[in-house]
Chain A
Amino acid sequence: MNIRDDLKYTSTHEWLKQGADGATVGISDFAQSELTDIVFVELPEIGRQLDPGEEICALESVKAVAYVYAPVAGAIAAVNEKLRKQPELINQDPYGDGWIVRITPDESGKTADLLEAAAYKQTLETAG
């Protein structure tokens, strides 16, 4: 189970990478392996405003539909267009090519409860 140390996480299994170009969001290796093969990603509209914890979009696997929740408040700046034809990128490379959206955080600076990698790993171990 690959949980990268340089990222922040949410209790709903999103990862967050803050950068100059905004906050990039995806789902963790744990989440993608629980979902199994993702067959469809319903990407959101660019410009949509989100509150922390709000549903960004849906991921469909053969097993279930799961939602990706916004770790920070802001507007959708970009979506990973490759996922339209290649949703499996989320399974293959959840932290890299499988990124889902980039959010431009708004001035409120509001975020969901963000966990450091070690704390997130802890939640995976105790959930049981």
Chain B
Amino acid sequence: MSAKTIFEKGRAGRRTEYVTPPSAPPPALSQLPASALRAKPPALPELTEGEVVRHYTGLSRKNWAVDVGFYPLGSCTMKYNARLAEQVAAWPEFFAAHPLRPGGGAQGLLRVMYETERMLSQLCGLSRFTLQPAAGAQGELCGMLLVAAYHADRGDPRKTVIVPDSAHGTNPATAALAGFKVLTCPSSEQGTVDLDALRKLVSDDLAGIMLTNPNTLGLFERDIQEVCRIVHDAGGLVYYDGANFNALVGRFRPGDMGFDVVHLNLHKTFGTPHGGGGPGAGPVGVVEKLEPYLPVPLVTEGPEGFRFEEERPKTIGRMNAFAGSVLIALRAYVYMRLLGTAGLRDVSGSAVLAANYLKERLSTVYQPSHPGRCMHEFVLSAERQKDELGVRALDIAKRLIDLGFHPPTMYFPLTVPEALMIEPTETESIETLDAFIDAMLQIEREARESPDLLHDAPHHAPVGRLDEVAAVKNLNVRWTPDSTGEGAG
């Protein structure tokens, strides 16, 4: 690998004022504990400001981002992040607000949090939301801890949770972490929950079921009300994994379908930044009977304004050091206010339309996992290409990088062989969708005519195929002075 770390650049003696010195003088060394004092200065790189800027700008140019191009990662909802939300989040009144500020925090920010909570409750048909969880998986954990708290409080600590076989891995992992035993429910031929199989798994030890709707295949669970009824009749609760809420927002409310507890991903459905631009945020909403267990603090409105409510005797406790990803909730607030109810309906409508357009065109050469209409995402199988041409989903994905597209989610859900899960979202133009279709059709032709082009792809990217086994077995993410040389782990 030719890329150099910053430690391999620069020259002894070079200095930069790039990092502004602190405005307050540092404490005298005599005030620090002896164990904290260094024997010699740290081996920091020595570069000029220009060298630092070039290094990081160069790294940023190697990245793919939703601001660079199409990013059809199934279930991630990589929609455009509105610049207005970024601008508002940068206002010093919000940005510089300190959570420990006397008087309970800034009224403006608390009001935003309160109104965000109200809007999410309305969109989901639920009673109350917590904005605390730091992202989807922590939202799931919060939700399952609420389920556990509910049953424990009723003196009936049930131990099993049902998860469909198409579920995202975080679901059973979360249930296990929350102390439950996980039972897998098979899918029917149609790809949705098999009601007969579900009935056999239900018992009086059932704490609940975790469902995504539409499911990970992009299919709407048509029997959702029956599923909820079966679980409720057995005394269990129904949890909604909101990863796919982009298909339903503004049109269907999980509360109306029978869900008791829901997590949403602000970084998916509500257009806040993903990953490195994040953090994420996974607010959790509940029906009234689960409200007492919600984590603290909750933002409440009182005669003296908005405040953090900490005293809730049955709370499961804190999910987060402060109040969660507050500036992310702010961005989601701007997004919802910008679009309004009608705009949010357009979001789900356009998201489903875009996915069906791609599915229709791509199904001419790739095998869809299920026939008929999908919702906001769909799954293709490259099994035929693998069996007949020796070209796998991985090869197709890597070749898409050469053609200027981020690959879709691959090898998920596990129920579809050689899966490619595609979610365009509602913020792509028809030109972009058509260009993606053309690229996928080109790759299919290349699979037939010159498969080696695909096996060695990508050819035009900063890195080629990585040694994933070595990455797992010999992972090294920390530079040390003696780790330079051959590809730094």
Interface residues of A (CB under 8 A from B): 37, 39-40, 62-64, 88
- The reply on B478 being an interface residue by CB < 8 A is no
Give the nearest-CB partner of A39 in chain B. Answer: B472
A-B contact number at CB 8 A:
13
Pair B411/A62 contact, Cβ less than 8 Å = no
Give the nearest-CB partner of B383 in chain A. Answer: A128
Q: Which residues of A contact B473 (CB under 8 A)?
A: 39
CA distance A40 to B468 in the complex (A): 13
Pair B414/A62 contact, Cβ less than 8 Å = no
Given contacts A37-B469, A40-B472, A63-B411, 4 further A-B contacts (CB under 8 A): A37-B468, A39-B472, A62-B469, A88-B469
Q: Which residues of B contact A88 (CB under 8 A)?
A: 469
Give the nearest-CB partner of B471 in chain A. Answer: A62
Q: Which residues of B contact A40 (CB under 8 A)?
A: 472
Q: Which residues of B contact A64 (CB under 8 A)?
A: 411, 414
Shortest CB distance A62–B (Å): 4
Q: Which residues of A contact B472 (CB under 8 A)?
A: 39-40, 62
Interface residues of B (CB under 8 A from A): 411, 414, 468-469, 472-473
Pair B411/A39 contact, Cβ less than 8 Å = no
Give the nearest-CB partner of A36 in chain B. Answer: B469
Pair B414/A39 contact, Cβ less than 8 Å = no
Q: Which residues of B contact A63 (CB under 8 A)?
A: 411
Give 13 pairs: A residue, B residue, CB < 8 Å, sorted on A. Answer: A37-B468, A37-B469, A39-B469, A39-B472, A39-B473, A40-B472, A62-B468, A62-B469, A62-B472, A63-B411, A64-B411, A64-B414, A88-B469
For the complex of A and B, the 8 pairs showing the least CB-CB separation, nearest first, are A37-B469, A39-B472, A62-B468, A39-B473, A39-B469, A62-B472, A62-B469, A63-B411
CA distance A100 to B411 in the complex (A): 26
Give the nearest-CB partner of A37 in chain B. Answer: B469
Shortest CB distance B471–A (Å): 8
Shortest CB distance B128–A (Å): 36
Q: Which residues of A contact B468 (CB under 8 A)?
A: 37, 62
